[in-house]
Amino acid sequence: MKRLFILGTSGLAREMAFLFDAVPQTEWELSGFIAADASEVGRDLGRARVVGDDAWLIGTSVECGLIIGVGLPAARERIAVRYLSQGSRFEFPTLIHPSAVLDTRLVELGRGNLITAGCVFTCDIVVGSFNLFNLQTTVGHDARIADFCVFNPSVNISGGVHVGDTVLVGTGSQILENRVVGPRATVGAGAVVTKDVEAGVTVVGVPARPLGSG
């Protein structure tokens, strides 16, 4: 079994340990959490302890797997870029909870994706890398998801939707059919996206409008 670490120490990082434990493992063994700050080393997070910080792990020669246990898209991107710059030392497995409905013959997945309990993916879907699909998110036919996106619980992504890099989609929101959400946009919790969302824009409400537009 190869060693695997979870990057982060938040509640989400602990939830990623829960996801890891739910997925039958023949390759990986959880070796602990990695903190951003060395002052957290030794902290007991229940499933495992904080065994080091980012500087320590990067400074060693260890080869291992990593799960990004951070819930902000831009932070996920920064973390991934830092570790990817080390070459092939670090692997980023994709984890799919056993209760998720997903046929890998019909869904193309990049690396480092985290798909939690109750998620449903239908058909002809392309997903990039380092995305987090939190509890009971649904993704419809012909959707295209880029990299470093976070979909909070109970998001509904309709058929033909395109989501750019580093997008945050809030809990209980809906993106209607064939809409485009540009890179680094944010969709607020409970919003219903009926029109395309431009890059970097935050939309809220039903129907969703740019924040501050009234």
Mind listing the pLDDT tens digit of every residue in the chain (214 residues)?
899 999 999 999 999 999 999 999 889 999 999 999 999 999 999 999 999 999 999 999 989 999 999 999 999 999 999 999 999 999 999 999 999 999 999 999 999 999 999 999 999 999 999 999 999 999 999 999 999 999 999 999 999 999 999 999 999 999 999 999 999 999 999 999 999 999 999 999 999 999 876 6
C-alpha separations of 173 from 53, 71, 91, 163, 177 in Å: 35, 17, 32, 14, 13
Alpha-carbon dihedral angle through residues 102, 146, 158, 153, given to the nearest 10 degrees? 70
Tokens of 199: 């890059």
End-of-domain residue from the set 57, 72, 93: 93
Domain assignment present for residue 137? The answer is: yes
Q: Identify whether residues 26 and 101 lie together within a single domain.
A: no
> Could you give the number of structural domains in the chain?
2
Query: Domain for residue 46, yes or no?
Result: yes
Whether the model clears a pTM of 0.85, i.e. scores above it, the answer is: yes
Residue appearing with tokens 């537009």: 213
* Residue after which a domain boundary falls, among 64, 93, 122: 93
Q: The domain containing residue 7 runs over which residues? A: 2-93
214 within some domain: no
Output the six-digit token pair for 104.
């890998």
Query: Which residues have C-beta within 8 Å of that of residue 116, sequence separation ≥ 6?
Result: 15, 19, 97, 100, 132, 133, 134, 135, 137
Residues with Cβ within 8 Å of residue 26, at least 6 apart in sequence? none
CB–CB of 176/157 below 8 Å?
no
Q: Kindly report the CATH number assigned to the domain that includes residue 45.
A: 3.40.50.20
**Does residue 145 share a domain with residue 55?**
no
